[in-house]
Copies of this chain bind each other. A is one copy, B any other.
Amino acid sequence: MAVIEHALLPVRAGSEAAVAEAKPLIEASPGFISLKIFRPAATGQAYLLLVEWRSVADHRDGFRQSDRYGRWRALLHRFYDPIPEVSYFGEPL
């Protein structure tokens, strides 16, 4: 069963371009299924990041231990330090 990685990313000037540049790094990761980043609406202060993975391990033990994650962090570090906490969600009700 696929899982959803969820994070709220604070809005920072310039971060959209950096995310666009970093996106292929996560997309190339084994077990990656899809990624969506939604802009805040109304009075929102954060982007909503939803990444679908084949399993939690594909994100946590795969992507996060890879060289690609080092580059991902290098691109996004100045916007998100520390990297926002992620949560995992599974089966819908």
Contact = CB atoms under 8 A, between A and B. Distances in A.
A91 interface: yes
Q: Is the interface of A mostly helix, strand, loop or mixed?
A: strand
**A: contact size bracket:** 20 to 34
A89 B56 contact: no
B39 A89 contact: yes
Interface in A10-46: 16, 19-20, 36-44, 46
A65 interface: no
Nearest to A6: B48
A48 B3 CA distance: 12
Contacts of A56: 41-42
A51 interface: no
